[in-house]
Chain A
């Protein structure tokens, strides 16, 4: 959950229509109209990345919202078993945050997708994911979409690349090979722990962090 008191605001006279802000926006809040960037306040999550990106023209600034807005998707009205099943498939825990910044949990992420998020941008706009560092939760987002059976089409501008590689994806043979050459990584031990994630208790599952 995130609380929003600000929204990005474009000073049109400064905007050159370069589109750099559009491609960096994690929540799909920026569209170009008549060669000017337009902000959709209903999608903006105040990550300030567009402001940072517009470093030549400084055409974007933070403006106060009339009142605080909360971005959160309630999971209470979604079938708990369905959430659990999808989280199992994604290799995440329903109650564990998939993002250290917004603390958006696995079950909220699943609920947002079941309630209509079709793209990572939709998901970020609904939950506030990627409003903080914007980096570390990315592959978790892809994994949850995959577990929900939603095929993501990578954008042509490479604003994100669907990468889901996980230790659990490695074969037992590969893990054994790496373990033999580089025992200091304890790859096999971590691999076994991740592999049994779906059946162990929440405490054990979270303890690998």
Chain B
């Protein structure tokens, strides 16, 4: 017997996604599997959805107690650089709590009053405004809250590999604090190399620089770009310290802070390889499934057991193995002789989109049957030029139950996994729960005894 499905974190309404509707777990007969039951050795956490947020505040102050803030003087201007996906971690409240506690600590310890929160956006001009309104950030930060995005005014910086462009308003204060999270999202793409640095390209840089990162380097070598930006003299002169919300598949693991970003990065790498490595390899054991997307923000990044849908899409190779130069599935020629991505995990028989934001390219999605719930929702996806081929494959259902009936008919499987933003557990069908519980012990052994030593060695980290 498994536990009943657990309510996921609340949705954030947005102009970039469909109007929030009833959650999948309330409509489908699903169960939940706790990550701690799958992998008892990665059960540690300080916060799970619904816990007292003061735990995050306390952890932030504790983490900051060992950090040197003496460079910040009372008359200085300090910018806290936040990034968008922090607001998708367990509903975003833990990240907000960390940011608020961080601001308080800086004020108390340095006497500096001008501490500004910079709220990052992926690309939309209304994203930051929505985040600021949703979490009511203005009163929390005394009105000192500002949005930023990839099209904002640039600042040229000289790095050891050439000139790159960052967002000027992030680095025009006296100091900035790298107020981030450990970014466990795209394990397949970033190969779990230097997660702590990534936002120096993918949040703090202009869109041209982001293009260089994605298109002009390999998927391992591209990770040098954020480090090169961080090491640029102009950036280092303004860097104060880093404060991170640390996660694991079970929830918020800790708050971690350090003046030495490389040291923090190594702690994250060790933790992620073990904890997310187990979830990633467990997803690899799923032989067939219907994947249901049911979250706000981009569906690609919605979590189940703290692990995003994108990982399930791309898990058929081992992305942590740095001896393999490919992380993604590569390309194949279509009937027109054009190279098209063949990225989708063949175990995903059907994708049901109950609710998710379009607006980001899901490479390979057009190779898999998709059922979208609701006419308006379908229209939104079909009008999305990030995924133009979805219009050719997506079917529409009037409600989730009809969508699931269609999916069962296509997939011929009753194994269902729901990506609804949960950390700590996965909501899924009983058959999927059985599969995951059966496979987890061997996955755990395989990671601990064989894969993890190799992954660490490849990154120059001693066991």
Residue numbers of A with Cβ under 8 A of B are 1-3, 5-6, 24, 45-47, 49, 52-53, 55, 62, 93, 95-98, 100-103, 105, 128, 131-140, 158-161, 163, 165-170, 174, 178, 182-187, 189-191, 193-194, 202, 206-209
Contacts and interface: CB of A to CB of B under 8 A. Distances in A.
A100 B343 CA distance: 12
Contacts of A101: 361, 385-388
Given A55-B129, A103-B340, A46 B220 contact: no
The 9 closest A-B pairs by CB, nearest first: A190-B218, A132-B386, A166-B216, A131-B385, A190-B221, A163-B208, A138-B211, A139-B211, A132-B385
Contacts of B361: 100-101, 132-133, 136
Contacts of A183: 460
Interface string B182-218: 0000000000011000000000001111111011111
Given A135-B150, A182-B224, A202 B339 contact: yes
Contacts of B322: 184, 186
B389 interface: yes
Contact of A165 (B126, B161, B193, B220): B161
Contact of B208 (A62, A139, A189): A139
A104 B223 CA distance: 26
A185 B331 contact: no
Interface residues of B, number: 62
A100 B363 CA distance: 7
Contacts, number: 178
B211 A93 contact: no
Contact of A134 (B123, B153, B160, B206): B123
Given A133-B360, A165-B161, A166-B212, A95 B338 contact: yes
Given A97-B338, A131-B385, A158 B154 contact: yes
B89 to A, nearest CB: 22
B207 A138 contact: yes
Given A53-B125, A132-B388, A206-B331, 9 more contacts: A101-B386, A128-B385, A131-B385, A133-B361, A135-B150, A163-B208, A167-B217, A207-B326, A208-B218
A6 B383 CA distance: 9
B325 interface: yes
B330 A207 contact: yes
B154 to A, nearest CB: 6
B214 A103 contact: no
Contacts of B331: 96, 206-207, 209
Given A134-B207, A208-B218, A102 B125 contact: no
Interface in B107-129: 123-126, 129
Contacts of B223: 184-185
A183 B124 CA distance: 36
A95 B333 contact: yes
Contacts of A47: 385
Contacts of B218: 167, 186, 189-190, 193-194, 208
Given A170-B161, A185-B220, A97 B339 contact: yes
B385 A165 contact: no
Contacts of A45: 385
Contact of A190 (B217, B337, B340): B217
Contacts of B50: none
B165 A174 contact: no
Contacts of B143: none
B298 to A, nearest CB: 11
A120 to B, nearest CB: 11
Contacts of B288: none
A99 to B, nearest CB: 9
A191 B220 CA distance: 11
A24 B330 contact: no
Contacts of A49: 125
A70 to B, nearest CB: 11
A133 to B, nearest CB: 5
